[in-house]
Amino acid sequence: MYPILYRKKTRTSFLACLLLLALTIRVLGEPELRGMVWARTKDVLGSEALFRTVLFLETGVLPEKLSAPVQLPPAGDEPAPERGNPSAAAASQTENTQTPATAAPTPFTTEAVPAAVAPQPAPFTAAEAEALSLRGNCTYPVDKAALLLRPLNWPELPGPKVLILHSHSCEAYTQCDGHSYLPSDNYRTLDLSNNVTAVGDALAEALAGLGVEVIHDRSYNDYPSYNASYGVAREKIQAYLEQYPSIVLVLDLHRDALEKPVRETVERDGQTLAPLMLAVGSDQGGLNHPHWEDNLSCGLKLQALGCRDEPCLFKKLSFRKERFNGDLSPGALIVEVGSTENTLPEALASMPYLARYIAELLRCP
């Protein structure tokens, strides 16, 4: 139709001019005009093969793979991420979950892994409530059945559901092979890989694997001042709750210190686990605490779920006069993971089980 375009020199010049025009139009950011030019060019060339060659110069896509119509991206659009690119996904995940090795690490979020929707746990019963035991210095009368059976009524907002932090970040365990550390005091160390912060890492990872989005604050709260630890932690909890109103569980992970040192363990699935103890505060000590019944209801539910699976893992729930920052959230709990007589591997081994019970708790109505 246009034989002059099939002369070699003329065709080469035409293609060069056409490419320059296309690049100019792309810079100018006029996608509609560019589309009109491409359509007209295809008609003028009169050859599908020649058009595909020119298109290859513009898009970089091999002509033999153009089995479907090609849509050129509008000028200025960012390239779409490649699907099935594990290296890119891994790089993104590493960036999001990188844990600094400084004395005051930046908090990080572990992205939730998509998981199949699990059914709600079976309803709680009065018999389960009767089987749960309390200890501690709070003398308030407690209707365990009423608290266990009351609904949680947590808000369903997008975002992280669980906040993990450590008011006593430096609490450590009995040293063992592969887990030695430089003590800062008796059973305490600034080494985040060998104190209770490492237990929080394991819990955050296990929760993420179950599809629960979680934030783990790895910063020190008891260093350099141990006595100011709960005040320092309080400010951080308030900031997180303000930034993420989706958070329904605030877990303050500790390592217990027993008056009479006794090594307590639980054998499960060929592993040695450190026992767990939940602690809930109240307003009996004189500080305002409007959520202590909510905290206790939450703790009883978590303990009941754990007892359904492993009755020996949880010790008696500790009900205390002190507030322990529990007034900041209806779902605030202290979790004591093992004691000074346990090793870090024993504490770490308990975290997949705790994560499973927490995931079940989040599905309770």
pLDDT band for position 64 (50/70/90)? Answer: very low
Nearest to 215 by CA among 190, 240, 245, 242: 240
More confident residue, 104 or 21: 21
Residue position matching structure tokens 């307003």: 283
Lowest-pLDDT range of 29-33, 70-74, 205-209, 266-270: 70-74
Query: CATH number of the domain at 89-362, please?
Result: 3.40.630.40
Give the pLDDT score at 324: 96
What integer is the mean pLDDT of 282-311? 97
What integer is the mean pLDDT of 13-27? 60
More confident residue, 245 or 28: 245
Q: Which sign does the torsion angle of CA 111, 114, 117, 122 carry?
A: negative
Residue intervals of the chain classified under CATH 3.40.630.40 are 89-362
Cα dihedral 193/194/196/198 (nearest 10): 30
Model pTM score: 0.71
- Measured CA to CA, the distance from residue 121 to residue 109 in angstroms comes to 27
Residues 174, 167: contact at Cβ < 8 Å? no
Lowest-pLDDT range of 48-57, 111-120, 139-148: 48-57
pLDDT band for position 269 (50/70/90)? Answer: very high
What integer is the mean pLDDT of 50-78? 41
Q: Burial level of 311, CB count in 10 A (0-12/13-18/19+)?
A: exposed
What integer is the mean pLDDT of 83-89? 36
Statement: residue 224 has pLDDT above 60 = yes
pLDDT band for position 102 (50/70/90)? Answer: very low
Give the pLDDT score at 16: 63
